[in-house]
Structure 1
């Protein structure tokens, strides 16, 4: 992954749809009104957007966790749906687990797009809430990441390593998307140009992804299992540890 302090190259396509800022369904748009609890986070992220100061980025994300969500412990509980969805996604993708609304025989021979739609629906059905819509898009992103690494992968018969990759990628995408929906527009709006704003947002995404990936790595080294039976607790631990790291920048 690129270093979070190094700006990415931004294409014209990126400018059309900033990552994590796609318009949500009409039913949940009203939930996106500015929230005073993010004032401290916005102040630091606005400074980061203007200057590119990575310390301001880390401080902004730390304030996002501490004052925006009441600290790592409270935020980890608020993100309980992430670990629940991760467990459901693991069950859907695990050929050895009982089918969770995924008829593999029926889907055999279908296109990647059709199988992806089926996986998303089986793992996280749409209920019109912001959380569900963010999670559904995060599952799509995670499957796209896997396909980017293994163009010939069979989504109906993933190996354990491939399934675990999708779970970890889903968690990182989901946390990032929530961050982007909460404060991403403010970050982009405060950058000198739209191109720089997108680059700053990608730096934030990379920092979040790298921190979460490191949490999963440390848990693997400590012997925590990512089997479907244990994925919910492992994801919950990885989330908590990551949030502690984010908030710890204020220590």
Structure 2
């Protein structure tokens, strides 16, 4: 899963933020413990001799709030500036061309850092689910989505697969496939950096490493899916193309890591219950940096 497949990228006239993207990423909330003497669902236990009450009908969907704007559609040649600069970067390897390409990607491809942050809402949401899975599994929490006992003695690859299935099930979207691959790659990098790491019992530092790597890999993967094909086609040789991809991924990872360090210095750290929000803030900071690159 280390190399993503490039495509022609999204064309004009489609929503910049797909309808399946989470509007406001939220971290999973553990269920509240029941109060003593009160069943979890009082209506589910009727008094003796009394029939159970009928099930409530499904709630009607809420009305559309007034003033809500329709989805912002992508313009013609939304990635034109990105492709021009990526072509230059593919041939020269000049980091200035890469930075200008990233600037066009955010400014023109997604209409600015705000929309780009919304577009990557799924990345933040999945990071929150990944954080919850890793934290709850290591602590033995009852609401952990991964069963440590059932996975005892399994191979690292089998455990990684179980975590991916619990965190990001297949739903038929390209985003799901990309995020699943990004989780896998992040755990692979973890095991390279920390060979003795136990995926079912990660330390705080190891969990932070996985979450940050996932965010960086997923942003780079989305960039490659949107415009990476142009970089591959403009590089003089296949070897150079792979070198440019590696350089691009490393640059995005370094920028995102700097954003996480900035947030950490401000006291916003990747603790249980706030992973999605911290990741979203790091992505916003990263896209603001990209957006500020010169034309």
Distance 1:157 1:116 in 2: 12
Give the superposed CA RMSD: 1.7
Residues 1:214 and 2:258 aligned together:
yes
Cα distance in 1 between the residues matched to 2:9 and 2:94: 27
> Structure 2: which 5+ residue stretches go unaligned?
13-76
Alignment of 1:59 onto 2:114: no
Deviations 1:15-68 (A, max 9, x none): xx983227xxxxxx7x84666311110011111111222111100111011101
Q: Residue 191 and residue 114 in structure 1: after superposition, are their counterparts in 2 closer, same or farther (change >3 A)?
A: same
* CA distance in structure 1 between the partners assigned to 2:120 and 2:250 by the alignment: 20
**Contact 1:18/1:198 (CA < 8 Å) preserved in 2?**
no
Map residues 168-247 of structure 1 onto 2, 5 A cutoff.
168-247=212-291
Structure (1 or 2) with the larger CA radius of gyration: 2
Q: Distance in 2 between matches of 1:208 and 1:239?
A: 11
2:154 corresponds to which residue?
Answer: 110
Gap runs ≥5 in structure 1:
1-16, 23-28
How many matched pairs? 228
Contact 2:168 2:180 in 1 (8 A): yes
Q: Tell me the alpha carbon deviations over residues 92-143 of structure 1, each in whole angstroms, 9 at most, x when there is no partner.
A: 1112354442111110110001000000001100111011110000000000
Written as runs of structure 1 = structure 2, the 5 A alignment for 1:1-251 is 19-21=3-5, 32=9, 36-94=77-135, 95-96=138-139, 97-250=141-294
| C-alpha deviation, 1:238, in angstroms | 0.2
Could you tell me how far 1:147 is from its partner in structure 2?
0.4
**1:20 and 1:176 in contact (8 A); partners too:** no
Q: Distance in 1 between matches of 2:181 and 2:173?
A: 13
When normalised by structure 1's length, the TM-score is 0.86
1: distance between equivalents of 2:222 and 2:127?
16
Separation in structure 2 between the aligned mates of residue 143 and residue 18 of structure 1, nearest angstrom: 11
Using the TM superposition, give the Cα deviation of residue 189 of structure 1 relative to its aligned residue in structure 2, in angstroms: 0.6
1: distance between equivalents of 2:208 and 2:255? 17
Cα offset, 1:78, TM superposition: 1.0
TM-score by length of 2: 0.74
Quick one: distance in 2 between partners of 1:206 and 1:118? Answer: 28
Deviation track 1:192-245 (CA, whole Å, cap 9, x = no partner) reads 111111111111111100000000011111111211211111101000000001
